[in-house]
Amino acid sequence: MTTLHDPALRGFASDNYSGIHPEIMAAISAANGGHQPAYGADQYTEHLGSVFREHFGEATEVFPVFNGTGANVTALQAMLPRWGAAIAADTAHIHVDEGGAPERVGGIKLLTVSTPDGKLTPDLIDHEAWGWGDEHRAQPLVVSITQSTELGTLYTPQEIRAITEHAHARDMLVHVDGARLANAAAALDLPLRAFTTDVGVDVLSFGGTKNGAMLGEAIVVLRPDAASGLMYSRKYMMQLASKMRFVSAQLIALLEGDLWLRNARHSNAMAQRLRRLIDEGVAAGSIRGVSVTQPTQANAVFVTLPEGVADRLREKFRFYDWDASRNEVRWMCSFDTEEADVDALVREVAQATTATGSA
């Protein structure tokens, strides 16, 4: 097959835009050849369970799935009865970026709360944690948080423990959307279990795609009685891979060694470089009219740009608007983002803001 794209082209739209890490490509190849039982009865998926238990604890159960939406919706559905609802931040991926799948496919009512930084707190949870026993209200029975958040911010272990204790005291479970859980661990410099299992999280979605995998995420049950029927619901939610060994092999390649951490540390470091160079340019006056809107804690940088600058930058770099009404954009870094990519973007920002005469 002829290569149809420029392999040297990298942008800042999403860590989903990146290719497959060579070590993961090699793992897929190593798992190929011969026959293995289908639907998760293969040796790779069996081994994956022990790999996850090393990271999250001996009670851990893991269910590989195709994608993040499938992981989140299937997990939440297993945690909730038909009359249940999940409390989430109004910026949560399950609310704004999954096409209504929790409601339309999962039958899950979402109760959303406005937050300044994408993070829930016990007080914010209580805005929607009420009405138990009221037959006219969907029952709030799960709290879903995202780590790292859609705004690139992080929960500390102490903040997550406060949420789990608050939720459990009200007979609610806690789910973590961990599409970028590796980035959080790298930024916090903590093992994965330190801000999940050890602080009371019940179920999480673990992301591979955004951290170098071709495809594949996992539903990770940390407390066995927190989810029911996953071996059945994964199938009817269309998330049961027949050739599951190739999903499991990717996650093994990530987690059996330190590839997951190396990739996450690199993407975080590139975001920190981008943030630092933007700040330095603003301070020096070579970048005008640009304001950073969120702390840069993982692999995302959020800024507002002067009018017209985003369109000019998109002539060379892909990235998304976050809030177009105030010219806020999001720049994401990936495991394969290079320093030269960051430096090139910053140069273009400087040229574009100077050309527009931004104050």
DSSP letter, residue 192: G
Band (172; pLDDT cuts 50, 70, 90): very high
Mean pLDDT confidence for 176-187: 98
Instruction: Tell me the pLDDT tens digit for each residue of 34-57.
Output: 999 999 999 999 999 999 999 999
Q: Note the pLDDT tens digit of each residue in 281-299.
A: 999 999 999 999 999 999 9
State residue 355's pLDDT score: 81
Give the integer Cα–Cα distance in Å for 208 and 68.
9
Distances (CA, A) of 170 to 75, 133, 140, 339: 20, 13, 10, 47
How far apart CA 124 and CA 246 sit, in angstroms, is 41
Amino acid at 3: T
Structure tokens at 158: 């102490």
pLDDT in tens, 92-141: 999 999 999 999 999 999 999 999 999 999 999 999 999 999 999 999 99
CA distance 293 to 264: 22
How sure is the predictor about 62, in pLDDT bands with cuts at 50, 70 and 90? very high
Q: What is the mean pLDDT of residues 318-323?
A: 96
Name all domains of the chain by residue range, CATH numbers in brackets.
22-257 (3.40.640.10), 260-355 (3.90.1150.10)
Mean pLDDT of 67-83: 97
Whole-number pLDDT of residue 359: 55
Mean pLDDT within 259-285: 98
The pTM assigned to this predicted structure is 0.96
